[in-house]
Structure formats: structure tokens, C-alpha cells
């Protein structure tokens, strides 16, 4: 089943008198439960594509269908509602609120929903258990290691049970051991929970966990590789 369908996607920005085109007529299909790594040089369109898939931005032309929704046809308010219900975003620098505990940071997305406190608690506890940070319940970000902060960020991304998880350089600020642990966690979210995961990375070791590696250059697809990951072993 296709989760994401990009058909002739072009994205342009105006910068002064110049028109910048980070994506040019990109065709791409991502199946439900796939784990895709986006790679390529700076300016190749990786983050632009990630933000389109996340519903943070809309294409200039072409069609972008995600879970049956045509993202380009949604209004800003509709896009915001769709994003909250369908996408979890994992950032390189975690983006945790420093004055909130791990539990409170993870709970934040659920406050957008009409949901009982007991249901919010159940979901937060489930996300914390899945990401291995149940013992950091009352810790503030400053009391956590980088790897633990990223686990909190991942728990926050999955707490609303989205179909899609997007990750922008999720191991870029971590040491090698923490990076390996985070990539194992992300891989399990795809393989065991069926989440569709799209990740931007410059790190070949992180990309090795993905089922597919997509190389972009100057806004175009130049290589699409399906692989059997051995990185978990």
C-alpha cells in the first residue's frame, strides 16, 4: 500500500530577484511501513522534501498524496490539523521545552486533542516504555544525556500514534554509541510498529539502517537503492 506519492513535485522559493528551485519534478513512491534515508549534498533538496512530506510546506506544482490526502489542496488550517494527526517530527537538536519534564514534553502534542487525562497518561507511558525512558519520567532536559533527550523527542513524535515519522539528522548531535542506539530504535518503529519513516542524514552508518536510500542532487532523484539492512546485528 502506498503511503506517500510524489508526482512531478516542484518547489520554488523567491529570494530577492532570484527564484530558487530546491526540488524539480520529483517522482517518488513510499510504501506504508517503509524506512527511507534521504542523502545528498547541501542544497540537494533533502530537507525541502522532508518538510513537504511533514506538511510543514506545500509544493509549488505537482501532486503530493499522503495517506490519500492531497497536501497541496489543503488550506493552512487544514494542513495544520492534518499534520498534528498524521506526522511525528524528530529534530536533530531535540527541541525539548527546558522547563518541562520528560513526561510533560512527551504529553505536549496530546494537549491538542479532546482527550481525558487518563488516556493522555496511558499514551505517554506507552511511548516512554517503547523508547526505553520510563525511568526518566520526572527528569528535565538538562538532567538527560543527548541520547536520552533524543529518546524523549522520539517518544513525543510517536505519542499521538502518527502513521508517518520524519527525522532530520536525528543522530547528528550524538556520539557513536548513542547514535547506534537511536537508529536501532527508529528501525524498530518501522519494522515492528509499521510506521513509515523518512530520515535526512549525511551519515552512511545511520543510512545503513534504512530499507531504502534515496540520493538527491540539485533537486532531482539520482539514485534509489533498496537494501537489506545488517546494521541491527
Q: Rounded to the nearest 10 degrees, how much is the dihedral formed by the CA atoms of 49, 55, 56, 57?
A: 60
Half-sphere exposure of 107 (CA within 13 A, CB side): 17
Output the average pLDDT for the chain: 91
Q: What would be the CATH architecture of the domain defined by 33-55+75-213? A: 3-Layer(aba) Sandwich (3.40)
Could you give the residue ranges of the DSSP H alpha helices within 69-226?
Answer: 76-86, 102-107, 117-131, 146-158, 176-191, 204-207
174-203 residue pLDDT tens: 999 999 999 999 999 999 999 999 999 999
Q: What percent of the chain has pLDDT over 90?
A: 74
pTM (two decimals)? 0.90
Buried b / exposed e over 32-60, threshold 16 CB at 10 Å, is ebbbbbbbbeeebbbbbbbbbbbbbbbbe
For residue 232, what pLDDT is reported?
Answer: 47
3-class secondary structure for 193-211?
Answer: CCCEEEEECCCHHHHCCCC
Residue of 71 and 23 predicted with greater confidence:
23
Residue of 139 and 85 predicted with greater confidence:
139
Amino acid at each position: 500500500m502506498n503511503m506517500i506519492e510524489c508526482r512531478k513535485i516542484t518547489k520554488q522559493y523567491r529570494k530577492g530577484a532570484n527564484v530558487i528551485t530546491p526540488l524539480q519534478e520529483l517522482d517518488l513512491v513510499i510504501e506504508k511501513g517503509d524506512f527511507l534515508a534521504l542523502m545528498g549534498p547541501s542544497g540537494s533538496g533533502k530537507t525541502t522534501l522532508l518538510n513537504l512530506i511533514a506538511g510543514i510546506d506545500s509544493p509549488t506544482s505537482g501532486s503530493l498524496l499522503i495517506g490519500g490526502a492531497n497536501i497541496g489542496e489543503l488550506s493552512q488550517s487544514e494542513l495544520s490539523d492534518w499534520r498534528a494527526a498524521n506526522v511525528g517530527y524528530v529534530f536533530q537538536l531535540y527541541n525539548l521545552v527546558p522547563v518541562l519534564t520528560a513526561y510533560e514534553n512527551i504529553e505536549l502534542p496530546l494537549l491538542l486533542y479532546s482527550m481525558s487525562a487518563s488516556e493522555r497518561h496511558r499514551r505517554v507511558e506507552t511511548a516512554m516504555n517503547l523508547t526505553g525512558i520510563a525511568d526518566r519520567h520526572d527528569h528535565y532536559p538538562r538532567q538527560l544525556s543527548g541520547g536520552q533527550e533524543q529518546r524523549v523527542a522520539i517518544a513525543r513524535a510517536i505519542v499521538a500514534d502518527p502513521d508517518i515519522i520524519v527525522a532530520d539528522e536525528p543522530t547528528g548531535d550524538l556520539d557513536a554509541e548513542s547514535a547506534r542506539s537511536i537508529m536501532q530504535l527508529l528501525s524498530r518503529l518501522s519494522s515492528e510498529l509499521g510506521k513509515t519513516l523518512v530520515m535526512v542524514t549525511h551519515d552512511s552508518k545511520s543510512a545503513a539502517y534504512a530499507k531504502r536510500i534515496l540520493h538527491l542532487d540539485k533537486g532531482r532523484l539520482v539514485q534509489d537503492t533498496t537494501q537489506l539492512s545488517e546494521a541491527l546485528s
